[in-house]
């Protein structure tokens, strides 16, 4: 795989073929943030198939599988503390929670879908995750999404136009539907050769599986 393919979030899979390894994320998920920060370090072996990063709508997956977010349960505070502990263990910046959190990620995820279409999935996703969970900025606000976009040289007018386009909206819906069809019910999730590894704590297992199918 070329460097350009890696930067684009994995080799292009085409409309009828799924990649060997796919990383599903939603920018509102702090656990997806933790996974995004370390996934490139875990897939350093040149023999491993590189993950293709795929933006999906977590809320739509919850609805499809009749699930809910831990952020809206009694486990919220403990879950937040666990994210903070994991970030510290990874030597990341201290977590700063956006207010409100969780928020409406629809606009941000449409921009992520546009970024994927032009080969900037990883750079935009990392910038946006850091804005949210290291900077404490609310990604439901287009201005904050624009800050993340600027970090990977995406013009604010271009992302606003793309986010409003029917083609981007359709691609995001379709990607989310395909994720559900593959058994992805939450994020972060890595699908390796058809097997779903859900959760930040299963990344290492996903890497081992990638070594077997690669």
Average pLDDT of the segment spanning 18-37: 97
Please report, for the domain that includes residue 142, its CATH number: 3.40.30.10
CA distances from 11 to 67, 125, 153, 191 (A): 31, 17, 22, 15
pLDDT score of 16: 52
Q: What is the pTM of this model?
A: 0.91
Counting the structural domains of the chain, the total is 1
**Domain range for residue 168?**
3-213
Report the pLDDT value the prediction gives residue 6, as an integer from 0 to 100.
40
Give phi and psi for 179, each to the nearest 5: -60, -45
Degrees to nearest 5, angle at CA 144 with 109 and 78 = 75
Query: What is the Cα–Cα distance from 109 to 116, expressed in whole angstroms?
Result: 10
In this prediction, residue 194 carries a pLDDT of 93
| pLDDT beyond 60 at 3 | no
pLDDT for res 1? 34
Mean pLDDT across the chain: 92
**The pLDDT of residue 46:** 86
**Chain centroid offset of residue 17 CA:** 20
φ/ψ of 155, rounded to 5, equals -75, 140
pLDDT tens figures, 59-98: 999 999 999 888 778 889 999 999 999 999 999 999 999 9
pLDDT at 74: 82
pLDDT score at 183: 97
């Amino acid at each position: 795989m070329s460097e350009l393919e890696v930067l684009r979030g994995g080799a292009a899979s085409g409309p009828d073929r799924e990649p060997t390894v796919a990383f599903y994320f939603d920018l509102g998920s702090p656990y997806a943030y933790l996974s995004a920060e370390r996934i490139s370090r875990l897939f350093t072996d040149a023999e491993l198939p590189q993950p293709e990063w795929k933006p999906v709508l977590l809320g739509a997956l919850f609805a499809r599988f009749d699930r809910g977010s831990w952020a809206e349960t009694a486990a919220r505070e403990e879950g937040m503390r666990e994210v903070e502990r994991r970030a510290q263990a990874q030597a990341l910046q201290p977590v700063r929670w956006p207010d409100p959190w969780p928020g409406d990620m629809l606009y941000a995820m449409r921009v992520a879908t546009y970024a994927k279409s032009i080969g900037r999935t990883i750079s935009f996703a990392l910038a946006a995750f850091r804005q949210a969970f290291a900077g404490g900025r609310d990604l439901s606000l287009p201005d904050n999404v624009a800050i993340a976009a600027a970090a990977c040289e995406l013009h604010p007018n271009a992302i606003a136009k793309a986010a409003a386009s029917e083609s981007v909206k359709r691609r995001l819906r379709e990607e989310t539907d395909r994720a559900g069809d593959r058994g992805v019910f939450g994020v972060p999730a890595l699908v390796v050769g058809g097997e779903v590894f859900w959760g930040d704590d299963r990344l290492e297992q996903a890497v081992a599986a990638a070594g077997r199918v690669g």
